[in-house]
């Protein structure tokens, strides 16, 4: 690579560290963490509750609605849970997208590009 | 009867070849070959993910398992679906923002190191190959059952078709074959489910009451514990199911076919709806087969229960529905194997050839030639392995693929995105330990060893008692990545991590416009 080209590249490259330390990016990371971490823990616990309960107890074998046991209801609840968390994520990520737009604007104006 | 099924099979073949012909006109560059030029919409990619994911194991295997074992078969349905939350919440968007063509690209975005890329590509090839052998052996057996075509020819037909799709039509053809298959599969499953439900007067209560007496299991059919007796094994399987999908290379490369992270997110959400509805319907397939086909007839056709869904179609709708569902199963197999060929070929051509061998200096034309030859090579190798494994029970290879994906790939993906301290040594140790611990544990497991001759591949006592290695190999993969990182003398590259963090979360690229 020619020297000239390299210096051009340096001038036009993005200062990622500056963006990473900017308050709007920090805010995005906090917002994401506060949303993703608790919900991920929740769905993992909700999911493993089923095999753990069915493996170590007979609790879910008792009938809930006629012949349909609690086990089947809990199994079906996993589907409801998955769809709900998908919808929640879609909704919340619209906000994240707005924050990303703002970070991009700042990066352009702030001369880090 | 074979005539009608044969005719519908020919229609599927013709339709997919037409797709491939049109796709081939738009497959001139590497970007078009590997990612369909990232031109897919959220809905298209969502359907393609569903088409890529729902293999014959899902359609025929789970229906059969529910028909024969009741509740326990449904564990697979749940795990296969909930896994998409891991994909959506943790990997989909960062992967789209960091990667270009392959899963190894994403890891290489942070660690520009040949060894890291090589090991990541090796994992991709291992996972895709296991998955492919399971699919091809299943396909050969299935087509033999459905059409009466000899196993060898069945495997060759599927093998040649998948090669044609990928070599000529690349990702564009693969995606559209998957979309068509997803629509067909949903349509077929829906029709059977409605017919089953109508036979139970559209009453769930009645349906559950009737299956209580329909099978040899009696009332126990509705309770867990018929198939999975060992609690640890159940939990181990569920671990691999929920964490495996997020590390499956053929699913991950689907995220490069859309233009940006928000579209990738949308495609996962659409896929989750489609896949979720499908897996709910597996209850109707399984219960219907148990009630209307009957245990004896299902087991007589195939001991694992793989014929439950086609036999149910025959019972409900005669020859035509049987032929239609058989054709759907055929389309299902084709779409999945095409995706697998593409993922293994991209690891060979893009990672090994273009990056490691040619150090990124290969021309566009050379890369295209390599990609096509890699696809041919992968196909030939898979066909040979499938012919060799005809007599083996290879169903466990799908769970092995999931276990390797969860043990070797997921820890690395997670740490690459989230852990500042993570380094190349940790990445390599994590991937190697995850891969080999899963492989070794399966090799010493009841899948391979059984005291009864013929029950497994080899005769003898299994050293490792669990059928699924996940509960041991997944933590090992994570621990190895952590220990490898902490023991290495490499300095933390905070500047590089800042770049990855910003890129992964915002998609800002060089020279952002």
Q: In this predicted structure, which of B67-71, B301-305, B502-506 has the lowest mean pLDDT?
A: B301-305
Task: Indicate the DSSP class of residue B420.
Answer: T
Q: Tokens standing for B269?
A: 């959400």
Quick check: A112 contacting B, CB < 8 Å?
A: no
B77 within 8 A of B238, measured Cβ to Cβ? no
The span from the CA of B27 to the CA of B177, in Å, is: 15
> With a cut of 70, which residues of chain A have pLDDT below it?
1-12, 110-113
DSSP 8-class letter at B492: P
List chain B residues with CB under 8 Å of A68: 204-205, 208
* Per-residue model confidence (pLDDT) at position B110: 92
- Over residues B223-242, the pLDDT tens digits come to 888 888 889 999 999 999 99
φ and ψ at residue B223, rounded to 5 degrees: -105, 150
Tokens of A46: 């909700």
- Residue A104: which of B272, B495, B508 has the nearest Cβ? B508
CB contact under 8 A, B273 and A83: yes
Rounded to whole angstroms, how far apart are CA atoms B299 and B312?
Answer: 13
With contact defined as beta carbons under 8 Å apart, do A74 and B75 qualify? no
Residue A68 contacts B, CB cutoff 8 Å: yes
Helix (H, G, I), strand (E, B) or coil at A15: coil
Q: For residue B505, which residues of chain A lie inside 8 Å, CB to CB?
A: 25, 28-29, 32, 100
Q: B44 CB near a chain A CB, below 8 Å?
A: no
How many residues does the structure list for chain A? 113
Residue range B393-419: average pLDDT?
Answer: 91
What 3-state class would DSSP assign to A66?
A: coil
How far is Cα B323 from Cα B310, in angstroms, rounded to an integer? 8
Instruction: Classify residue B232 by burial, with Cβ atoms within 10 Å: 0-12, 13-18, 19+.
Output: middle
Instruction: List pLDDT tens digits, range B15-31.
Output: 999 999 999 998 989 89
What is the H or E stretch that residue A63 is in? strand A63-65
Which tens digit of pLDDT belongs to each residue from B39-67? 999 999 999 999 999 988 788 889 999 99
* Residues paired with A63 in a beta bridge: A69
Restricting to B residues 455-484, those with a Cβ less than 8 Å away from any Cβ of A are none
Residues 6+ apart with CB under 8 A from B248: B127, B131, B401, B402, B405, B409
Residue with tokens 């036009």: A12
If contacts are CB pairs under 8 Å, which of residues 393-452 in chain B contact chain A? none
Average of pLDDT values for B373-400?
89
CB atoms within 10 A of CB A26: 11
How many other C-beta atoms are found inside a 10 Å radius of the C-beta of residue B208?
21
Q: Which of B338, B376, B414, B89 is nearest to A93 (CA)?
A: B89
Asked if the C-beta of A42 comes within 8 angstroms of chain B's C-beta atoms, the answer is no
Strands A63-65 and A68-69: antiparallel
- Interface check A82 vs B, CB under 8 A: yes
Question: Which residues neighbour B301 within 8 Å (Cβ) at sequence distance 6 or greater?
Answer: B145, B307, B311
Instruction: Please name the residues between 208 and 267 in chain B that touch chain A, using a CB distance below 8 Å.
Output: 208-209, 212, 222-225, 228, 231, 234-235, 238, 242, 262, 265-266
Please tell me which of the candidates B235, B242, B508 has its beta carbon nearest to residue A14: B508
- Nearest to A107, CA basis, from B512, B260, B499: B512
pTM beyond 0.85: the answer is yes
Tell me how many helices (H) and strands (E) chain B has.
22, 2
Is the Cβ of B115 closer than 8 Å to some Cβ of chain A? no
When scoring A48, A56, A67, A74 by the number of chain B Cβ atoms within 10 A, the one with the most, hence best to mutate, is: A67
Read off the tokens for B327: 């054709």
Rounded to a whole number, what is the distance in Å from the CA of A4 to chain B's nearest CA?
17
How many angstroms separate the CA atoms of A112 and B16, rounded? 49
Residue B398 to residue B402: CA distance in whole angstroms:
6
Cβ of A44 within 8 Å of Cβ of B90? The answer is: no
């Amino acid at each position: 690579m020619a020297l000239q080209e390299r210096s051009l590249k340096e001038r036009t490259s993005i200062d990622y560290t500056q963006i990473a330390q900017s308050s709007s990016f920090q805010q995005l990371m906090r917002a994401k963490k506060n949303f993703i971490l608790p919900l991920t823990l929740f769905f993992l616990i909700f999911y493993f509750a089923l095999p753990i309960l069915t493996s170590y107890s007979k609790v879910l074998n008792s009938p809930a609605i006629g012949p349909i046991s609690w086990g089947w209801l809990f199994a079906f609840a996993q589907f409801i849970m998955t769809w709900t968390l998908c919808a929640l994520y879609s909704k919340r990520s619209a906000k994240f997208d707005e924050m990303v737009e703002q970070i991009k604007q700042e990066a352009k104006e702030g001369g880090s590009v | 009867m074979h005539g009608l099924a044969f005719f519908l099979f020919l229609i599927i073949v013709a339709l997919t070849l037409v797709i491939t012909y049109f796709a081939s006109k738009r497959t001139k560059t590497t970007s078009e070959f590997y990612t369909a030029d990232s031109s897919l919409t959220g809905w298209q990619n969502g359907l393609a993910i569903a088409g890529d994911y729902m293999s014959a194991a899902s359609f025929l295997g789970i229906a059969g398992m529910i028909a024969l074992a009741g509740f326990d078969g449904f564990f697979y349905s749940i795990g296969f679906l909930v896994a998409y939350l891991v994909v959506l919440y943790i990997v989909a968007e960062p992967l789209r923002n960091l990667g270009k063509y392959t899963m190894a690209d994403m890891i290489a975005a942070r660690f520009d190191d040949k060894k890291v890329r090589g090991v990541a590509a090796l994992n991709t090839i291992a996972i895709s190959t296991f998955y492919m052998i399971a699919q091809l052996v299943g396909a050969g057996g299935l087509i033999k059952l459905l059409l009466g075509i000899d196993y060898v020819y069945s495997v060759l037909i599927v093998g040649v078709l998948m090669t044609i799709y990928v070599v000529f039509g690349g990702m564009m053809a693969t995606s559209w074959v998957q979309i068509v298959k997803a629509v067909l599969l949903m349509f077929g499953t829906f029709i059977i489910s409605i017919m089953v439900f109508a036979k139970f007067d559209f009453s769930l209560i009645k349906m559950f009451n009737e299956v209580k007496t329909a099978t040899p299991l009696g009332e126990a059919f509705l309770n867990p514990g018929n198939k999975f007796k060992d609690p640890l094994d159940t939990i181990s399987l569920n671990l691999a199911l929920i964490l495996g999908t997020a590390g499956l290379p053929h699913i991950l490369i689907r995220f490069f076919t859309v233009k940006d992270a928000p579209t990738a997110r949308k495609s996962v959400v659409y896929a989750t709806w489609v896949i979720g509805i499908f897996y709910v319907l597996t209850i109707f397939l399984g219960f219907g087969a148990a009630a209307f086909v009957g245990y004896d007839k299902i087991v007589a056709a195939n001991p694992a229960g793989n014929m439950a869904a086609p036999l149910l179609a025959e019972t409900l709708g005669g020859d035509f529905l049987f032929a239609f569902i058989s054709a759907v199963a055929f389309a299902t197999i084709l779409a999945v194997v095409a995706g697998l060929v593409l993922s293994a070929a991209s690891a060979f051509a893009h990672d090994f050839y273009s990056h490691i061998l040619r150090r990124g200096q290969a021309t566009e034309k050379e890369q295209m030639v390599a990609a096509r030859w890699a696809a041919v090579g992968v196909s030939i190798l898979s066909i040979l392995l499938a012919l060799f494994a005809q007599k083996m029970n290879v169903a466990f290879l799908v769970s092995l693929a999931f276990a390797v994906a969860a043990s070797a790939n997921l820890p690395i993906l997670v740490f690459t995105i989230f852990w500042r301290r993570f380094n190349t040594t940790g990445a390599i140790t994590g991937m190697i330990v995850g891969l080999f611990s899963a492989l070794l544990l399966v090799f010493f497991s009841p899948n391979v060893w059984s005291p009864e001759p013929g029950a497994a591949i080899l005769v003898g006592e299994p050293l490792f008692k669990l059928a699924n290695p996940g509960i041991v190999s997944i933590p090992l993969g994570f621990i190895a990545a952590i220990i490898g990182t902490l023991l290495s003398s490499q300095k933390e590259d905070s500047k590089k991590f800042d770049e990855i963090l910003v890129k992964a979360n915002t998609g800002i690229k060089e020279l952002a416009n």
